[in-house]
Structure 1
Amino acid sequence: MRTPAPEARPEPIREVEGPSRRTLIAGSAALALAPFAAAAQSPARKPAPAVKPAEAPAPEAKPDAGPAEAKPLKAAPAQARLKPEPAPETAVWRLGTGTAPPVLRIKLGETVRLRVENNTEKPLAFHWHGVRNRNAMDGVGGVTQEPIAPGKDFSYEFTPPDAGTFLVRPLVVGGASEPSGRGLAGLLVVEEPNPLAVDQDVTLLLQDWRLDEAGALLPFGQVAFAAASGRLGNAVTLNGGPIPLALEGRPGGRVRLRLANACNARAIRIRFDGVKVYVAAVDGQPADTFEPLKATLPFAPGTRYDLLLDLPKEPGPAGTITALVGQGLPLATFAVAGEPVAQTGRGQIASIPENKRLPNEIKLQSAFRRDLVLTGGVKPDRTKPGAETPYAGDPQKIWQINGASGAAGAAPLFTVKRGQVLVLTIRNDTGFPQVLHLHGHVFRLLHLLDDGWEPYWLDTVQIPEGRHAQIAFVADNPGRWLLSSTVLERFDTGLWASFEVG
């Protein structure tokens, strides 16, 4: 991929065989996915021995359920090979000691106990993206905790209420983009008490990096990026390594893929070529298993999918995960080798059991309703495709929600009693699609033309420019919670607000 000059403007994404950003519909409703009639879950059985994917990360830590000392997890400078030799390795920051972002695995009901040590030069905090956490552990530096100063540490201790796949991202008011762009990220996997029987459970974490010709990270903090598309990288990695990542399994094996987008700003679409996948969970929460329309999914920063697929029964190349950027960018390849997996007693791909901790319905009749309007940033120049007008405002307050930029000391937009149903209508009056994340809760995306909603829970929604979305949820988690941009350059420059649950 072409490397821009240090002060070059980010190039727009050109999608293949997919809609332009102007035709994307809101959020994960943009899935436009055909439902798949899932069969009943097959009887639990002992999985066949897994064949590890090439370059797959090992778990960084596995906290236990009983009282125990917090396990250390360091954020520190490291080296990573992001460009092929003879280019030198890139100076990055890494969470943990492995060569890949850490994957923390626990069982539902177990407690996360981690002492995060900040050995970088910037203040840090880590948000557990998607976890309906207790407020003090949400990990927003400047709001729910004091940022972890360089040379200091902070202990996170919480018991996730839900099983699922969750993203770990740095999140400090005014200072999230650089730690993320330097590589700090990870995954938290909370396993169900009785997981679906699969032969492999594989995590795939997407990141992109903005590099110069020599492979070094380009400078951070450009206002032009923050006021437009955000910091778009020109090199892509999966699990911290070059793409395409080679994944291998046994003939007839059943695979669970956990995909997460930890890019600073890059929203893409991904296509599955040669393999048939079924979506089993969106943003960590179970869904009635369905097949993506045209084998394609939107994949914005902060988004997670749990996918299920059966590998072919014959050895050889099996398929590709392709990012629909330019002429198509292969992210991972599937290959089949080894002894076939026994098929005795195996049924069709099933759904993950629904999360009984979430309500069966949301009663909208007595909902507390608020309108939120997103403004700010530059406006694309309609006479010059791909160009924007220069930004001339306050570089710390580029974006606004209801006319105000997010700030650590700002009052919440509103306060509600615990248990109140909320309906938020979010209108995007900016010149770009916006991706927003709800902290501490999950929501239903309401249909705009009737009284229905999408049949899965979400914590992240994408809203095209000039459009609006409605979300509904029960405010059952006390504390001060954010609605924040997952494009971290926009978060740093004001695109977030908070509300209080009493």
Structure 2
Amino acid sequence: MKTDLSKPAIKARPNRRQALAGLAGLAALAGTTPTRAQDATPAPGQPAEPAATTARELTAVPGKTRLRPSPATESEIWSFDGNAPGPTLRVKLGETLRIRLLNRTDKPLSLHWHGLRHDQTMDGVGGFSQEPVAPGDSFEYRLTPRDPGSYLYRPLLLGGSSEPAGRGLSGLLVVEEKEPPAVDLDLPVLVGDWLLGDDHKLLPFPATAQEGAAAGRLGSWLTVNGKPPPERIGLAPGARVRLRLANACNARIMRLRFDGLKAFVVAVDGQPTETFEPVRAQLPFAPGTRYDVIFDMPEENGASASVTALIGPGMPLVRFVSEAGKSAVQRKASGPIAALAPNPALPAAVRLQNASRAEIIVEGGAKIDADNKLNLSGIDQARPWRLNGTTGDPQGKPLLSVRRGTPVVIGITNKTDFLQPFHVHGHSFRLLHPLDDGWEPYFLDTVQIPEGKRLHIAFIADNPGRWLISSTVLERFDFGLWTWFEVI
């Protein structure tokens, strides 16, 4: 099966009749949300007491690194313990991860665990779900993930996300399956975007009016795991590789292409999916998006394969090379590439006829003239974007307020001249087909709404608390392109 995630064109599965047929007792799918993380009720299928607790510290501190190849000078960045991106954090399903964030920068900070379904008090939105961590202070996150998968952590705080993210504060969180697929290499691939001058220094913050009202802070240089691309990986011929691809850019929306390899997507936004090959070997890749991809290296010695960002003529991000000298390594993997086990904590269907419904209309921003030039005339520089006629307000009225276990359908209409990626916090959703006659066969937590288009998403509001629906372009988020809903 080949799937094009950029176009909702897969035939409905399940169809509307199947959707209406079933899901009794959906409210039992999630645990309660306590006032303190350490008192959290575990999700079904998880032990009453976490099997283990892992404690880590992440110290956000100014640093230097060489982003462009030598002889370029080092750039002044922000790092976690001297590394940008930060370390790939790993925890086994059912375990608790305690992370103490120490802020040694000169700006407030908080960390959002993008895609993680967990306690709302640990969601990490400064000014909304927690107080921002002031310079010199610290905050402890306690995470007991209910789902395995690949997740992104990066700064998110009202009005102040662009700079700490644009200076390099991001990383991957991997929640390991109880029985992970056998692979010879499990490789995190975190793509970053840096706006550098000719002197290799980061250009000033905060976002300009043009960045805030248009595409966002688009960088001039990409990195892969903090290094100049392409990252070269030598492997034994025929070796099996699992890639955990994540877009940690502030604003860069791109497509990925797989060259010289037959890629199989096994998870989208951290959640397992029926294994499929991307249409034209390409995947859409907006900020916040993650894919787990498995492939086998060619058997021929010296053969190469790559993952390429379709920017300009194409930029190889990772290059894999079959090396005969590595063939003596004992392979762990063999046989066909199989799908990951389905996530039993997610609903098989959504009772659309019983759903609470809401609409989001996105307006504002710069205009793109007929000659493809940016037109900023008439833009409110303080509030360039509007969502349902206003901007995000934590004290305002929620988009909707529903009881736990309620099916929810949200229509999102993009009336702007720009592609709009949005992220639903604390939940995974289905992308509906037109007329609500079914949905795509994968779960998402981040969706792209093309300019001038309207899409519908559906999910079970099974996670109590106040949750954002936010633009993943951080400059738009900082200018208020978000709203929130409540599960009681």
| Short-chain TM bin | 0.7 to 0.9
**Are positions 1:280 and 2:266 aligned together?**
yes
| Aligned 8 A contact 1:82 1:89 in 2 | yes
**Are positions 1:98 and 2:86 aligned together?**
no
Measure the CA separation in 2 of the matches of 1:202 and 1:499.
35
* Count of matched residue pairs: 447
- Within 5 A, what are the aligned runs for 1:187-336? 187-220=172-205, 221-336=207-322
**Are positions 1:30 and 2:7 aligned together?**
yes
User: What letter matches 1:488 in structure 2?
Assistant: L
Q: Structure 2 length normalisation: TM-score?
A: 0.88
- Within 5 A, what are the aligned runs for 1:306-385? 306-337=292-323, 338-339=326-327, 346-382=334-370, 384-385=371-372
- Within 5 A, what are the aligned runs for 1:418-429? 418-429=404-415
- Within 5 A, what are the aligned runs for 1:114-193? 114-193=99-178
Q: CA deviation digits over 1:44-97, x for unaligned, max 9?
A: xxxxxxxxxxxxxxxxxxxx9567684221111111111223321000011233
Measure the CA separation in 2 of the matches of 1:69 and 1:197.
24
1:409 Cα offset (Å)? 2.9
Measure the CA separation in 2 of the matches of 1:112 and 1:344.
28
Q: 1:168 to 1:376 in 2, by over 3 A?
A: same
**Are positions 1:388 and 2:365 aligned together?**
no
Measure the CA separation in 2 of the matches of 1:267 and 1:322.
14
User: What letter matches 1:208 in structure 2?
Assistant: D
1:379 Cα offset (Å)? 1.1
Measure the CA separation in 1 of the matches of 2:305 and 2:8.
21
Q: Secondary structure at the match of 1:266?
A: coil
Quote the residue 1:447 is aligned against.
433
Identity of paired residues, percent?
52
Quote the residue 1:473 is aligned against.
459
Measure the CA separation in 2 of the matches of 1:344 and 1:116.
36
Measure the CA separation in 1 of the matches of 2:401 and 2:177.
34
User: Which runs of 5 or more structure 2 residues have no equivalent in the other structure?
Assistant: 13-48
1:32 Cα offset (Å)? 6.4
Q: 1:317 to 1:100 in 2, by over 3 A?
A: farther
Measure the CA separation in 2 of the matches of 1:78 and 1:31.
43
Q: Secondary structure at the match of 1:241?
A: coil
1:393 Cα offset (Å)? 4.0
**Are positions 1:437 and 2:414 aligned together?**
no
Q: Secondary structure at the match of 1:489?
A: helix
- Which piece of structure 1 moves more, 238-247 or 84-93? 84-93
Measure the CA separation in 2 of the matches of 1:394 and 1:345.
56
- Which piece of structure 1 moves more, 187-196 or 316-325? 316-325
Q: Structure 1 length normalisation: TM-score?
A: 0.85
Measure the CA separation in 2 of the matches of 1:174 and 1:149.
14
Measure the CA separation in 1 of the matches of 2:93 and 2:307.
30
User: What letter matches 2:138 in structure 1?
Assistant: D
Q: 1:293 to 1:258 in 2, by over 3 A?
A: same
Measure the CA separation in 1 of the matches of 2:261 and 2:214.
36
User: What letter matches 2:241 in structure 1?
Assistant: V
Q: Secondary structure at the match of 1:226?
A: helix
Q: Secondary structure at the match of 2:367?
A: coil
Q: 1:343 to 1:216 in 2, by over 3 A?
A: closer
Measure the CA separation in 1 of the matches of 2:120 and 2:56.
21
Q: Secondary structure at the match of 2:280?
A: helix
Pick the aligned partner of 1:491 from 462, 465, 477.
Answer: 477
Q: Secondary structure at the match of 2:357?
A: strand
Q: CA deviation digits over 1:240-259, x for unaligned, max 9?
A: 00001111211211110000
Q: Secondary structure at the match of 1:92?
A: strand
Quote the residue 2:60 is aligned against.
75
1:130 Cα offset (Å)? 0.4
Measure the CA separation in 1 of the matches of 2:390 and 2:152.
28
Quote the residue 2:25 is aligned against.
none
Measure the CA separation in 2 of the matches of 1:474 and 1:392.
40
User: What letter matches 2:386 in structure 1?
Assistant: Q
Q: CA deviation digits over 1:11-38, x for unaligned, max 9?
A: xxxxxxxxxxxxxx9x945386899xxx
| Aligned 8 A contact 1:173 1:408 in 2 | no
User: Which runs of 5 or more structure 1 residues have no equivalent in the other structure?
Assistant: 1-24, 36-63
Quote the residue 2:26 is aligned against.
none
1:395 Cα offset (Å)? 2.9
| Aligned 8 A contact 1:30 1:298 in 2 | no
